[in-house]
Chains A and B, each alone.
Chain A
Amino acid sequence: MSLKRRLGIIDLGSNSVRLVIAHYTPGHAFRIVEEHSRRVRLSEGMSADHHLQPEAMDRTLATLKLFRDLCAASGVTRIIPVATAAVRDAVNRKEFLARARADAGLRFRVLTGEEEAYLGALSVVNGLGVRDGIVMEVGGGSAQVSELRRGRSKRGVTAPLGAVRLTEMFLRSDPVREDEAARLADHIARTFEGWEWMRVEAGGALVGMGGTARALARIDREARAYPLDLVNGYELELARLEPLVEKLRALPVSERVKNVPGLMADRGDIILAGAMAVAGALRRAGADRMLVSSMGVREGLLYQAFLEPGRPVIRNPREFSVLNLRRLCCPTLPDVSPAAKLALALFDELAPFHGYGKVAREQLWAAAQLLDIGAAVDYRDPYKHAAYLILSAGLPGYTHRETALVALLCLQQRGDGSPPDPAASTLENGAAKWTSRLGALLRLAAALERGRGPAIASLHAAAAGRDTLRLRVRARRGRDIRWELAEAQRAAALFEAAFDCKLLIEEM
């Protein structure tokens, strides 16, 4: 693995300070290798006079030194330290920044609210592949809403719709009374009212970032026994959020954690207001679901460092996430797998017979590109391991359903055709035919390139009679492909069953 650089990013907020360490080779591949978070409550006692308190500063500086040492021990050569609201708003920020430099050797950059929104948007654009829509983060004191157009953040607004603040202002009873909740819903709706731009158009998405969005996703996953372990890209539907809001409202705070699986104790009190802010935003934006992002400012900074200066947007995030995973797992293999090239050629040749479109083609390509990665775990059951890796790491830019399909296509390459577990249950019934056809096609391509040569120069498919398909393949110059043909012959039965026709394979 030759990821050349080791980067630490420290993000100092009002409540906590976080560190991520990433390894990367600029523009090529990256992976997050460590993440740490400490609750330092830097803003504690600040509200009266906007002064960072000595004790809060001491706590924070001690943690910063710890993180700095951790970076050094992990071979990090560059640290990007940024600070947000608490430091930004503090009267004595200079004093604190000077101490951070003197004691911890860290030169913090204080982000403006706008920069914060920009970096959050950058993480969404690159990490979810969303180009247009609304990005929202519900914090404790306020909610940050920004507009995304063509991969750029167009505007960002801060609204006083933080979960802590709203809870204190509106939800005083325990359990919360219906009229309190109604007044809060009304307040949220009126706050958004004037924001004409807060609309999600076709092809766009409302993206939720931050602790509130992740907490809601966690609860919803538990409630529906969601089969995948992925958070980034989780879709939280308004139709499911509404009953959750009602359920939370009717429960006394002391009962919530027990009765709402997935809810963490430290959010038991404020989760209702957060859920209502999200529901209000979805209604305002005319969206039926929120796409959850597990990323944020830190990942935005990471993408900035990873990508070319001045061009911080990955051109094709779907393609990149496949390549990234392939590069991380198989650093010695070339970017393009011969099997993937051939699978696409086969897909195109067979277009009249299957009728699938561009999206299916892309999913097939992803699976073909990732067939090799399972060997990074163990060579004996590589396709099972490939599926595990895909479902664990996720494919940013692909929906969870697509990610499951790609994993399923890999699983189908196992000789025994054993039923794939976690992935299959996210899929509706119609997907069975789809996966069996594309899976068979992929098996054929992989068989023809089993030697990883590459061996095949071109191929041609044509109907030969009513229910027979003739596939003619041309070997690369000087290449003996008898073995590849024999392997393909073994894959033919699966193909014939999936396409319900006979398959003849010949060398041109």
Chain B
Amino acid sequence: MQTRQILPLLILALVMTFGAVGSSAATATVTIRVEGMRCGNCAASITKNLKVTAGVEDVRVSFEKTEAWIKFDDQKITVAKLREVINGTGFKAVEEKASGD
């Protein structure tokens, strides 16, 4: 009787644990070097366009370092697509230092 009561709770706990691991595994970060950022104020478009892209969770663009740091869901979007978005703003995404979280 007691085992019957505990079993569904155990299954639920297992599902929640693996679910949480699965979702965190989908999150990745990448730092992409961007060419052409001569004006800090026009770099705002990179942030804006990345933020409205599905799968992008956070964006920080540094005019000083000429790079964009992006936190994204790698199950929804690829680094290649992120580069495309940056290129679409008129700048040039040249290389990246990928790092999974």
A and B are partners in one complex rather than unrelated chains:
no
Chain A contact residues, CB within 8 Å of chain B: none
